[in-house]
Amino acid sequence: MPKPSGTRERIIKAASKLFYAEGIGRVSVDAVAEAAGVTKRTLYYHFESKDQLVAAYLDARDQPNLKQMADWFAAAEGGPGEKVAAVFAALGRSARHPKWKGCGFLRTTAELAAMPGHPAVKIGARHKSAFADWLAGELAQAGFEAPQALTRHILLLLDGAFSASLLHRDASWFDAAGDAARALVAAHPRARRAAGAG
């Protein structure tokens, strides 16, 4: 995969800051070009449309966000329930930062709710599916039965915490959701060979 040019990367970084802080609808292409220090013509040389730029914004967040959550999971002590809860706790800490504005994937998808075929919506769905696949793999490795079903329940709690904490401006929703996720993991059946593990 070719490395993005410095100019393209600068445009994506500028767009990411503005789109995350203000939402995609409120940010014009002119504002992104100005923040990136390029002309509008240069921006359109790298991105044919604002839609492409919005998709690139989410695409740039995809792997770093997945890696961050996997790192939080791996670094946490204890069994799978504690590791899952640690992801919620780390997100709760992030949500206490004054510049935190929720999940960029969920917010962007909400703005594009009337455009299900938009490339950014597809990237958002891909991101959530990738997280679910990764977590299901971790839970399967730990010996849980039906790890995909358990993962769906956890992801519902996670996205619910993103929404509630943003709506109420209260990061403690992540703490409550993390407690619920830990309880779900503890109650979920495990294969006999793994019954005594973790």
Task: State yes or no: pLDDT of 197 exceeds 60.
Answer: no
Task: State yes or no: pLDDT of 193 exceeds 70.
Answer: no
Mean pLDDT for the chain?
Answer: 94
| Domain segments of the chain as ranges | 1-48, 61-190
Give pLDDT, residue 146: 96
Task: State yes or no: pLDDT of 66 exceeds 80.
Answer: yes
pTM (2 decimals)? Answer: 0.90
Task: State yes or no: pLDDT of 65 exceeds 90.
Answer: yes
pLDDT, mean of residues 2-27: 90
Please report which confidence band the pLDDT of residue 192 belongs to, taking 50, 70 and 90 as the band edges.
low
pLDDT digits (tens, 9 = 90+) for 163-182: 999 999 999 999 999 999 99
Which of 1-15, 21-35, 58-72, 102-116 bottoms out in mean pLDDT, i.e. has the lowest?
1-15
Give pLDDT, residue 4: 52
Give pLDDT, residue 191: 79
Task: State yes or no: pLDDT of 33 exceeds 80.
Answer: yes
Whole-angstrom distance, CA of residue 71 vs CA of residue 158: 17
Same topology, domains 1-48 and 61-190? Answer is no
**CA neighbor of 74 nearest in space, from 135, 154, 145, 140:** 135
Q: What's the CATH superfamily of 61-190?
A: Tetracycline Repressor, domain 2 (1.10.357.10)
pLDDT, mean of residues 85-89: 98
Identify the architecture of domain 1-48 in CATH: Orthogonal Bundle (1.10)
Burial class (CB in 10 A: 0-12, 13-18, 19+), 43: buried
**CA neighbor of 59 nearest in space, from 22, 4, 21:** 4
**CA neighbor of 84 nearest in space, from 197, 181, 157, 155:** 181
pLDDT, mean of residues 61-80: 97
Task: State yes or no: pLDDT of 73 exceeds 90.
Answer: yes
Give pLDDT, residue 195: 46
